[in-house]
Amino acid sequence: MSYIYGLLKTAIETLLLMVYKVTGNFGIAIIGATIIIKIILLPLTLKQDKSMKNMKKLQPEMEKIKEQYKNDPKMQQQKTMELYQKHKVNPAGGCLPLLIQLPILWALFGVLRGDIVPQEMFLWMDLIKPDPYYILPVLNGVVSFVQQKIMGSDPKMKNMMYMFPIMMVFISYKMPAGLQIYWLTSSLAGVIQQYLIMKKGD
């Protein structure tokens, strides 16, 4: 794992320095590198969207299975897996982009702790310190809420639509500003991607 982390950290560091040479500002370099990473991950995002749509289509049949085998959890699980196999649906497919984002965040955190970040300000922030005015954490929470609204969450998970953005604010307010910029840019790009995917359809 440490070897993979090292490779990922080196790749992100190289990408940031390449973009920095073009932009001349490390904050803008983070935004540019984030957009490049989102483009690279686009096939996985499209796969995630397809997986979520397929899961939504199967929801009525899954409810029937739950009702039919409510007293037999083992059979309920077996029939659900058979349903997934029949329609070639991977229930974990929607989690893959998020699982990939986490090591990227961790590697970027490692890069920001190093000595490649120049002593310069981006807007009102020192990139290696948290946002002193908490503007980025609040924006991250707002964008997270908008993202969930656009994707259309399950009515049963309505409370999570409000809880997750609040959690985002509390999780990110102590992060270095550079990480918060990455997360905000990634979320905004995700909202635009989701809008275009919904507009284009299958």
Predicted local confidence at residue 78, as pLDDT: 86
Cα distances (Å, whole numbers) of residue 51 to 55, 115, 141 = 6, 41, 25
**pLDDT value of residue 76:** 83
Return d(Cα 34, Cα 15) in angstroms, integer. Answer: 10
- Report domain extents, the chain: 2-200
Per-residue tokens: 176: 């270095």
Q: Which pTM value belongs to this model? A: 0.75
Q: Rounded distance, CA 199 to CA 179, Å?
A: 30
Which of 158, 19, 151 has its CA nearest to residue 97?
151
pLDDT of residue 22: 93
Q: How far apart are CA 16 and CA 168, in angstroms?
A: 25
Pick out the chain residues at pLDDT < 50: none
The predicted pLDDT at position 200 comes to 66
